[in-house]
Amino acid sequence: MSLPLVEPDLDLLRQGRVLIDVRAPVEFAQGALPGAINLPLMDDEERHLIGIRYKEQGQQAAIELGNRLVAGGLRQARIAAWQRSIAAHPDALIYCFRGGLRSQTAQQWLFDAGIERPRIRGGWKAMRQALCARIDAAAERPLLVIGGLTGCAKTELIQRLKGGVDLEACARHKGSAFGRHPLPAPAQIDFEHAIGRRLLDVPGACVVEDESRHIGVANIPLTFWRAMEQAPRVRVEMPLDWRLARIHKDYIEDLWAVYRGQYGEWLGWALMRKQLSGALARLKKRLGNARLARLARLQELAFREHQRGNPQAHEAWLAPLLTEYYDPLYRHQLEKHTQTFLHVGDWDSCLAFAREWQAPGGSSVGGTRQPAHQHAVE
């Protein structure tokens, strides 16, 4: 009997279909499809042993070993896990690495238990190729990059746009020494898949924040990164006090909310202090010993005041961090890489410009979109 198949269509991801990944946990950790849950046919050790048998004696011997290793109560437990997932998500689909023997086996065991569910033709590999192709296709479309000094709320601007692609959210990192997220960073493959998934909802031109190729431990896919390097730019300019308030929200208020929610008051506080003090220490080479020591003292005093109910005390070290580290670094990059900006203005004007740039008819020959009020600034 032939078990049902579905094509590796990215609409499956757009529809939010639940995907049951029957690969081993070690494979899932290296990268899965967006929204997938790992309910493996074999655990890591079983997969390792079967792989050895396959290399030494061939497929049939490997199948026979697999049937011995995953049998009886263990087999029933894994079928029961699939059954529970399908009961909660009746339209769930099954996949393995290439849509081959493992997903077929899971299908057959479920069918024998009275449940028929399709598997994805080509499995993880085919879906990954489609997601990567989506990123490559986006690199060929019009692209706008939003730049500006730290604290100019560039990420929020990106999030306000229908065509905005928040690369930092995909990387679970804010793209700076202080940008580490309390939750673990995604694997490189998961980062790429998150970008591809976001691009499914952006059929036309897209807007991204000006980033280095490395965001935390993740690397922007090379084709997309090269397109970003060549893309037209907009620069947000806001006064220092406005930027300081944004940095305080990002680095202190929002970070504390995540740590407290994830780990509780005591451990969350300890972990946040460790992250912020460690981030400051990593700037030693650029700040120098004396400046680092001064900022570290101010940071320690700010934590004490914060505990007494005065979180605004952090501005004592955040303000010089902006003026003595981030701002000179950004201006150095501008001098090192001369750039032409389609628009330079405050946050609201840059948002309006980006929306107009994305609007139908906003593009010119060659993919550079130039609204009527465009002005280039060196």
Active site positions, annotated: 96
Question: At a CB cut-off of 8 Å and minimum separation 6, what does 206 contact?
Answer: 138, 141, 142, 143, 144, 163, 164, 165, 199
- Rounded to whole angstroms, how far apart are CA atoms 307 and 266? 11
Is 144 within 8 Å of 357 (Cβ atoms)?
Answer: yes
Is 130 within 8 Å of 193 (Cβ atoms)?
Answer: no
What Å distances lie between residue 92 and 35, 280, 313, CA to CA?
11, 46, 50
Judge residue 42's burial from the number of C-beta atoms within 10 Å of its C-beta, 0-12 exposed, 13-18 middle, 19 or more buried. Answer: buried
Identify the H or E element spanning 123: helix 123-139
**Bridge partners of 38?**
21
Judge residue 71's burial from the number of C-beta atoms within 10 Å of its C-beta, 0-12 exposed, 13-18 middle, 19 or more buried. Answer: exposed
